[in-house]
Amino acid sequence: MFLRRFEPRTGRTTAEVINFIMWPLAVMTVIHRIVVKAVNGSVTDDYAPVYQAALAFLNRHDVYVANFNSVDPHYLYPPSGTMLLAPIALLDPEKSRWLFILANAIAVIIALFLLLKMFDLAWNSIAAPILIFAAFSTETVSNTLTFSNINGLILLAEVAFLFLLLRKKDLWAGAAIGLTFAIKPILAPLLLLPLVRGQWKVFVTAIGIPLVLMAVAWPLAADPMAFIDHTFPYLMESRDYFNSAIVGNGTYFGLPVPLIWALRIAFAAMGAVSLWLLYRYYRHDELFYVTTTAGLLMAGSFLLLSLGQMYYSMLLFPLLMTVVLRNSVMRNWPAWLAAYGFLSADAWFSSRFVEEGRAVEYLKPTYGWSLLIIVIFAVLVNRYLTAKREGRLDRGIDPDFLVDADGKAAAVVPAKV
């Protein structure tokens, strides 16, 4: 009976065969990233300053004492975030770090299954193991676990926010994103979505929860004003190391300040045009609109604001998942060349081409985010110009292969996988 499971006929369909192939690869990749790569750790240790801050908070010691003249990871979370993370210091540093790694890995997996549900894909479809294998093979998930930072939980909050927003669960959507604001405001650009969709209740919990948590944490912290006086000014600066934003890499490579600003303005303009086209012609195609707009907002914030780090790119997973939609802006090879730039774990340092390799390595995520914004802009503008030329703007700007014989937009559904 056991040996029969290995007979060729157990793979009755192509989907079954792909599942047989991908699930072992996905499971073993997840185990390796957690048990080996993450537990081994790295020279970059994002967890140590968080643990020390949590320990100091519990013992009523000063938290905001970082020396910002060094390039080591600094503790930058506000008192509300320190309070939320304080329980990690109840265990010894090693066991606490392992549990934190596990929590973030589980959060990533839950987020991926929520994405499958959002796009109407079953957990037992071939999409599930492919998605898990692909996600845990990226630099962003691998380094999030290895550096032991909180981005896995932030991804879960982002996907939960989008999932609940689409289902009109406004207060719960606001709660999901509001908890992240209590730690760091990286998802703040996504508040444009409930703003333009008129889902005002989102703001009740999105703003209320971090304010309440800050009010509770402020008197419990030993040095809350030091966050304002010492840490907050640093957060407003643009550093020239470990910073893949235009301003960070531009400063590192010595670009003239006017050129840096010209690049930021140019990409901001492309982003603004893309946002307008998405709102004008796609806001009623809710799944496509919300996920594509979210990806554009996040990519733009990584590229244009003061700090962008490559492992933030997991927050673009909802945009990448739109590839299963027939009208996705991701159905072209330049989009996935861009994804290679901000997701690939390949190191481009070269002993033969030293300067060139170093430049590609440091600029890879910057190029990836830039190309992604260019692709979205180019696809949407081309669709607009084509529809205008053909006199069908009143029926939308989807490409002609999505328009039926009567000139009406065909229903856009996820591809069956």
Which one, of 268, 264, 281, lies nearest residue 379 by Cα? 281
pLDDT, residue 70, reads: 76
Element (H, E) at 400: none
Rounded CA gap, 230 and 233, in Å? Answer: 6
pLDDT, residue 6, reads: 55
Q: What are the φ/ψ torsions at residue 17 (nearest 5 degrees)?
A: -60, -45
pLDDT, residue 11, reads: 58
Which one, of 263, 233, 214, lies nearest residue 363 by Cα? 263
Is-contact 74 46, C-beta < 8 A?
A: no
Return the structure tokens found at 41: 């750790």
Return the structure tokens found at 259: 């050129």
Neighbours of 349 (CB within 10 A): 11
Question: Where in 262-368 does DSSP place strands (E)?
Answer: none
pLDDT, residue 368, reads: 97
Low-confidence ranges of the chain (pLDDT < 70): 1-11, 403-417
Rounded CA gap, 105 and 150, in Å? Answer: 10
Rounded CA gap, 146 and 407, in Å? Answer: 52
Rounded CA gap, 38 and 165, in Å? Answer: 33
The dihedral of CA 317, 311, 168, 114: what is its sign? positive
pLDDT, residue 406, reads: 44
Is-contact 230 96, C-beta < 8 A?
A: no
Which one, of 299, 189, 190, lies nearest residue 244 by Cα? 299
Residues 136-145 have pLDDT tens digits of 999 999 999 9
Rounded CA gap, 251 and 329, in Å? Answer: 31
Rounded CA gap, 157 and 155, in Å? Answer: 5
Is-contact 112 135, C-beta < 8 A?
A: yes
Looking at residue 330, its amino acid is M
Rounded to the nearest angstrom, the gap between the alpha carbon of residue 314 and the centroid of all alpha carbons in its chain is: 4
Q: Would you call 101 exposed, middle or buried from its count of C-beta atoms within 10 A (0-12, 13-18, 19+)?
A: buried
Residues 293-303 have pLDDT tens digits of 999 999 999 99
